[in-house]
Amino acid sequence: MKKTKDEELYAPEDLAQAVETLRRGGIILYPTDTVWGIGCDATNEEAVRRIYELKQRADSKSMLVLIDETYPLESIVGPVPDVAYDLMELAVRPITIIYQGAKGVAPSLLGEGQSLGIRQSREKFSSALCRRLRRPIVSTSANISGDPTPLFFDGISPAILEGVDYVVRYRQTDKTPSKPSQIIMLGPSGEVKVIRP
């Protein structure tokens, strides 16, 4: 019987190489809890700008970051409305929450009002990546801006594959369908606005 993506085990050396690439300021191609993503250390402005260049994306369009469940959200958002923790706990599929007043990440990641989209990943590899790096990781779809988002690894263009410093091996053959994350915007007093249901 074929293993599901949750039953597969990633190779420790694959994770170690990805983490080392991020620590050196490199950019990686990696599986997330939605689609394949391009990522870097979200605190490294130069690495973030390399992703904007690779995607040929205007830096006025902010990118989201991933954290794992052990990461102190308050270190990049403050104060965190209580409803944020309820939303993350109750979500049945990936949920990206846009917070106001973000800090401690590359300035080019921030949108209007110092806003930042943050998703707590429950996917095995990207969670481990965040945990090992101990910093938020940029997560943006693995395509040139304006091109369709590839649903699986084999749909990623050569330009993206050649433009990153490391391509994660884990889940390259996985064809399990995934849905985009829900997107919720939170106001400073906990007001909830649904951007994408």
Do 186 and 83 form a contact (C-beta atoms < 8 A)?
Answer: yes
Residue 2 forms part of a structural domain: no
Question: How high is the pLDDT of residue 5?
Answer: 47
Residue 74 forms part of a structural domain: yes
Through-space distance between the first and last CA atoms of the chain, rounded to whole angstroms: 35
* Residues with pLDDT less than 50, the chain: 1-7
CATH number, residue 173: 3.90.870.10
Taking 3-state DSSP, the helix, strand and coil percentages for the chain, each rounded to the nearest 5, stand at: 30, 20, 45
pLDDT digits (tens, 9 = 90+) for 68-124: 999 999 999 988 989 999 999 998 899 999 999 999 999 999 998 899 999 999 999
pTM for this one?
A: 0.91
Question: How high is the pLDDT of residue 113?
Answer: 86
Residue 63 forms part of a structural domain: yes
Residue 1 forms part of a structural domain: no
Domain with 84, as residue range(s), is 12-196
Residue 7 forms part of a structural domain: no
Residue 157 forms part of a structural domain: yes
Question: How high is the pLDDT of residue 60?
Answer: 67
**If we measure between CA atoms, which residue out of 95, 94, 110, 122 comes closest to residue 178?**
94
Do 125 and 10 form a contact (C-beta atoms < 8 A)?
Answer: yes
Residue 11: its H or E element = none
Burial 105-143 (b: 16+ CB within 10 A, else e): bbeebbeeeebbbbbbbebbbbbbbbbbbebbbbbbbbb
